């Protein structure tokens, strides 16, 4: 439980920090998150090969395509970021779809990986949306809305932090409930980001 709790604490803290970054810092953070996801994909890919072999062949192809997108050069401008984000979104969607098929086919053989990669992809998607928010709000006509939108997202993060703190205080009794609550809170946060662009 402590490991999972620490993981959620770190995720909430990273999202909070990402919301406060300047445009230059956001570019560097985006690159760091791309590198971290690449490392996670490499580990997952090796495990999938060892445990599933040919069953994971289609997934490996989609992971390779995602790696190519993650390896693209630094997004130095809003336009470059938007182009990378679009390509990454497509690759993430393709990996997720193939991942779901493999998990369904593999059943218990691949049980421990069910949440691993899917969770990583979802978190990276949220980070992409936070970065998109930064670039979008960096435009002159959007600056007026910046503080209000940022406040909304910080409220959602505050709810997530409260759940983590509450779980810390309760201990490991209710781990299943905590995981479910954090998943719901994270979904609300993702929804709040997506609403900003509708």
| Residue ranges of domains in the chain | 2-193
Q: Cα separation of 185 and 36, whole Å?
A: 23
185-186-192 Cα angle (round to 5): 90
For the chain, how long is the longest CA-to-CA vector? 53
Q: pTM for the full model?
A: 0.68
Outline where the chain has alpha helix (H): 2-20, 23-52, 57-70, 78-106, 114-137, 143-170, 175-195
pLDDT at 62: 93
pLDDT tens for each residue of the chain, 198 residues long: 566 667 667 777 777 777 777 777 878 888 888 898 899 889 888 888 887 888 888 989 999 999 999 998 787 777 888 888 889 989 989 998 888 888 787 776 666 655 567 777 877 877 777 777 666 655 544 555 656 666 777 777 777 777 777 777 766 555 566 666 766 776 667 676 666 555
Contact 122, 95 (CB under 8 A): no
Contact 59, 95 (CB under 8 A): yes
The two three-digit tokens of residue 196, written as one number = 């900003």
Distance from the Cα of residue 53 to its chain's centroid: 26
pLDDT at 193: 65
- Name all contacts of 169-174 with Cβ < 8 Å and 24+ positions apart: 171/1, 172/1
pLDDT at 20: 76
Element (H, E) at 129: helix 114-137
């Amino acid at each position: 439980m402590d490991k999972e709790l620490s993981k959620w604490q770190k995720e909430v803290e990273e999202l909070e920090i990402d919301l406060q970054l300047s445009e230059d810092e956001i570019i560097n953070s985006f690159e760091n998150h791309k590198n971290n996801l690449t490392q996670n994909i490499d580990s997952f890919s090796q495990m999938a090969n060892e445990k599933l072999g040919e069953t994971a062949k289609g997934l490996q192809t989609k992971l390779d395509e995602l790696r190519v997108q993650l390896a693209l050069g630094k997004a130095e401008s809003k336009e470059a970021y938007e182009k990378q984000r679009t390509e990454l979104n497509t690759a993430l969607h393709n990996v997720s779809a193939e991942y779901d098929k493999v998990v369904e086919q593999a059943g218990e053989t691949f049980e421990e990986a069910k949440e691993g990669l899917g969770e990583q992809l979802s978190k990276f998607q949220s980070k992409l949306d936070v970065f998109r928010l930064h670039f979008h709000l960096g435009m002159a006509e959007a600056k007026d809305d910046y503080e209000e939108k940022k406040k909304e997202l910080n409220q959602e993060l505050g709810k997530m932090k409260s759940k983590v703190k509450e779980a810390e205080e309760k201990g490991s009794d209710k781990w299943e409930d905590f995981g479910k609550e954090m998943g719901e809170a994270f979904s609300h946060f993702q929804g709040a980001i997506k609403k900003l662009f509708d």
